Amino acid sequence: MTKKIRRLRSKDLQRVFSEALWKNVEIKEHTVNEHFVVDVHLTEDMLITALSIGARIQQYDVEKAFTPIIGASYKQDIIGVEGVFAVACYICGNWLKALDYIKIELGSDSGDLKLKGHLIDVKTRSKKWHDILMMPKKQWVNRKYDFYIGCNIIAEDWVRIWGYISREDFEKNGKWDDFGHGDTLCIPFNELNNIGELKQLNKCA
């Protein structure tokens, strides 16, 4: 019996040799109503990876009969991963290097990114008009992160990063509201700090 040898497709190898795999991520810095934002275009590789991880998160939750604080679906889990990828890619300036800082732990919400000792939670809203960073009270009390980042999906393959806020400032400046799932700490996206500051603070080597 002849053993088959797995060979990489030449087009895939070419993307590695040309560095296109990590250089083809388009990033646009601009302002929306005088607020600095960053738009990140998700490549096909990023979308497929987010699809696989997001689907696995949902599959795991179903298998373990885990009930999230906010009811999640396959779509929401995938979008959440897309937001994390966009932020990590922008902060690190390199898609492959960004993978070193992404935290994917099934059954545990210990943060989405870990950069230079800081735990970061990325909140990604699914619509272009969703413009509020929200943290349910149960998550706020039980899961303490250093920074929170607000994003939303502005097109099928584009994520907009609105900015970040420290836990201390979120507690000080956020407002409590009820969106159908209990007390939730909220702050509008346009009140978040410039994400470029966090990029400098956590500049990847």
* pTM (predicted TM-score): 0.85
Which of 127, 116, 23, 42 has the alpha carbon at shortest distance from 81?
42
Q: Model confidence at 191, in pLDDT bands (50, 70, 90)?
A: very high
DSSP state for residue 5 in the 8-state scheme: P
User: Is the residue at 63 inside a domain?
Assistant: yes
* Mean pLDDT, residues 79-102 taken together: 88
> Which of residues 1 and 8 earns the better pLDDT score?
8
Instruction: Judge whether 170 and 187 are in contact, CB under 8 Å.
Output: yes
Q: What are 168's two structure tokens?
A: 């201390």
User: Is the residue at 68 inside a domain?
Assistant: yes
Q: 64-73, 117-126, 131-140: lowest mean pLDDT where?
A: 64-73
User: Is the residue at 3 inside a domain?
Assistant: no
Which range has highest mean pLDDT (14-18, 37-41, 181-185)? 37-41
User: Is the residue at 32 inside a domain?
Assistant: yes
Phi and psi at 128, nearest 5°, equal -60, -30
Q: What is the pLDDT, as a whole number, of residue 108?
A: 54
Tell me the pLDDT tens digit for each residue of 124-169: 998 888 899 999 888 888 888 999 999 999 998 999 999 999 999 9
* Residue span of the structural domain in which 97 resides: 25-201
Q: Is the dihedral of CA 173, 177, 182, 187 positive or negative?
A: negative
Q: Model confidence at 200, in pLDDT bands (50, 70, 90)?
A: confident
- Mean of per-residue pLDDT scores for the chain: 83
User: Is the residue at 16 inside a domain?
Assistant: no
pLDDT above 90: residue 188: yes
* Mean pLDDT, residues 77-86 taken together: 90
The residue type of 158 is W
- CB under 8 Å, gap of 24 or more: what pairs does 17-21 form? 21/45, 21/95, 21/96
Q: How many domains does the chain have?
A: 1
Phi and psi at 65, nearest 5°, equal 55, 40
* Mean pLDDT, residues 89-105 taken together: 82
User: Is the residue at 10 inside a domain?
Assistant: no
> Which of residues 154 and 71 earns the better pLDDT score?
154
User: Is the residue at 19 inside a domain?
Assistant: no
118 bridge partner residues: 115
Tell me the pLDDT tens digit for each residue of 17-42: 666 677 778 999 999 999 999 999 99
Instruction: Judge whether 30 and 162 are in contact, CB under 8 Å.
Output: no
The residue type of 68 is P
